[in-house]
Structure 1
Amino acid sequence: MAQMDDLPPLREVIATHELRAKKSLGQNFLLDLNLTAKIARAAGDLSGCDVLEVGPGPGGLTRGLLAEGARRVLAVEKDSRCLPALAEIAAAYPERLEVINGDALEVDVSAHLTPPIRVVANLPYNVGTELLVRWLTPAEWPPAWDSLTLMFQKEVAERIVAQPGSKAYGRLAILAQWRCEARIVMTLPPEAFNPPPKIHSAVVHLNKLDAPRFPADAAVLSRVVAAAFNQRRKMLRASLKGQAPDIEDRIRAAGLEPTLRAEQVSIEGFCALAREIAR
């Protein structure tokens, strides 16, 4: 692939600004601009969209998003060492990149983004799952964003798309798939990063659904799923006994057997159970 812009290669950017990745910030920089462009394309048509990026680091994915036609990119970066490198990208793409120096868990970005909004990020490993859960559990649904295209450790990505009956199936799969179409679109080896992590990574693309797949109160569903999977080796009648005094009757009323374990229950089954417990 030809150079996507007139900016220097990422290795040169990292050397110039002395951007050694910090383990404490969960940083692993993706250096191959072919890969960052591929991730940007996996997010779909970005023209006419604002894109939220968390943890841009030296800006490889940021450049891919802008080159692929994003209307605007809002990049939230906690590490102030990266700001000069991101400023160079902003100068190369006038009026299209805004950088906020802050913690993505604390910054309210709503005032900085105009729909349609897509979230695309090589998430820092130490906050990736928490950010995903926040995006999947807004106060109101549908959310402000249209899609999430996010890089995680491969193990986490597999948990997001897992099906009932598998060891990876759990709370994260239910939260994601209840309200979204979720699929893994890329896997990346450790050597694609600097420094190389000890594990493979994967990119998950989630398209929001206008309404959840099955009716349920979100807070009750979250509580029931958490209780069931916190003791996933136990049968439902034991793991959920704190949810209602007549829990076995309610499990049966939801069309389930009290002897099932959490990993055997579909999303539809959990939603039916949440409705029975909420009665």
Structure 2
Amino acid sequence: MAQIDNLPPLREVIASHGLDARKSLGQNFLLDLNLTSRIARSAGDLTNCTVIEIGPGPGGLTRALLAAGAKRVVAIEKDQRCLPALAEISGHYDGKLHVIEGDALQINPQELAPGEDIRIVANLPYNVGTQLLLNWVATPQWPPFWLSLTLMFQKEVAERITAKPGSKHYGRLSVLTGWRTHADQLFDLNPKAFTPPPKVTSTVIHLTPRPEPFECDLKQLEKLTAAAFGQRRKMLRASLKGLAKPAEPLIEAAGLAPTARAEEIDVAGFVRLANIFKQNGA
């Protein structure tokens, strides 16, 4: 295991603070500092950035981010048991770590470092990861307050986020993230790298904002993709008939075939469709 600082090994930190991972909090601690350092490097140059981390736990990734030269790390942690361990990291790194106790779903990250260059890097808790991502992509201001997102998900979720049309993984999440971002899978992590080992492989992905995404109403796009992929085996004329009567002329007005299925429509096609439906009060 890499030695990135003079702090105790993570297993000792977990033992000394009684930090058994809790399923109710979606916790799986990544202890391999080689891997946490790789994630930190994947986020890009951190020297002039404030990094926002969600769910740092005992601080493995936190230490890697600080060792990689992050100007500052703001970590949001819901589990009070982890705060003493994180305080030790803050002391070691001259206060460059600021810890906020709370639920990341209830905290606006944009308010944590106003006017600063922000990168979000996190081993996201499995139970809230997808919602957090959608919150960051759906921010009203665009370009967003963040420069990039470097996030760990279950491999299945990462495949859905990065999938292209025609893929079996392509779906609503692919469209909602692809609308505003470029998303790439970076590397997988074996379950054995975690304590406790999850039952699935994890994947790190990197997202950057599209400078000029297609103009579209988010709520309309959400409603449309929910209907289309909710019945993905059906043709659009059938899956969307509940949103507009008749739906077929609107589908054709968007330049799409009513007989096409959702998995065949690219992001631009869904945006056109959402805009046409909105214009017609659907």
Give the alignment's TM-score, normalised by structure 2: 0.96
**What SS does the aligned partner of 2:105 have?**
coil
Please state how far the C-alpha of 1:217 moved relative to its aligned partner. 2.4
- Given residue 7 of structure 1, which amino acid in structure 2 is its aligned partner? L
- Partner residue in 1 for 2:195: 194
The range that moved more, 106-115 or 181-190, is: 106-115
Please state how far the C-alpha of 1:226 moved relative to its aligned partner. 1.4
Please state how far the C-alpha of 1:2 moved relative to its aligned partner. 4.6
- The percent identity for this pair of structures is 62
**What SS does the aligned partner of 1:244 have?**
coil
**What SS does the aligned partner of 1:149 have?**
strand
- Partner residue in 2 for 1:133: 134
Give the alignment's TM-score, normalised by structure 1: 0.97
Which runs of 5 or more residues in structure 1 are unaligned? none
**What SS does the aligned partner of 2:200 have?**
coil
Partners of 2:43 and 2:92 lie apart in 1 by 22
Describe how 1:75-114 pairs up with structure 2 within 5 A: 75-114=75-114
Please state how far the C-alpha of 1:27 moved relative to its aligned partner. 0.3
| Deviation digits for residues 101-158 of structure 1 (CA, Å, limit 9, x no counterpart) | 1111112333321421000000011111111111111123221111100000000000
- Given residue 207 of structure 1, which amino acid in structure 2 is its aligned partner? T
Which runs of 5 or more residues in structure 2 are unaligned? none
- Given residue 166 of structure 2, which amino acid in structure 1 is its aligned partner? G
Partners of 1:152 and 1:2 lie apart in 2 by 23
- Partner residue in 2 for 1:66: 66
Q: Alpha carbon RMSD of aligned pairs, Å?
A: 1.2
- Partner residue in 2 for 1:156: 157
Partners of 2:168 and 2:2 lie apart in 1 by 42
- Given residue 125 of structure 1, which amino acid in structure 2 is its aligned partner? Y
- Partner residue in 1 for 2:47: 47
The yes-or-no answer on 1:29 pairing with 2:29 is yes
Please state how far the C-alpha of 1:211 moved relative to its aligned partner. 1.8
- Partner residue in 1 for 2:207: 206
Partners of 1:99 and 1:151 lie apart in 2 by 20
Are the counterparts in 1 of residues 2 and 33 from structure 2 also a CA contact under 8 Å? no
Q: How many residues align?
A: 278
**What SS does the aligned partner of 1:12 have?**
helix
Moved over 4 A (4+): none
Please state how far the C-alpha of 1:215 moved relative to its aligned partner. 3.0
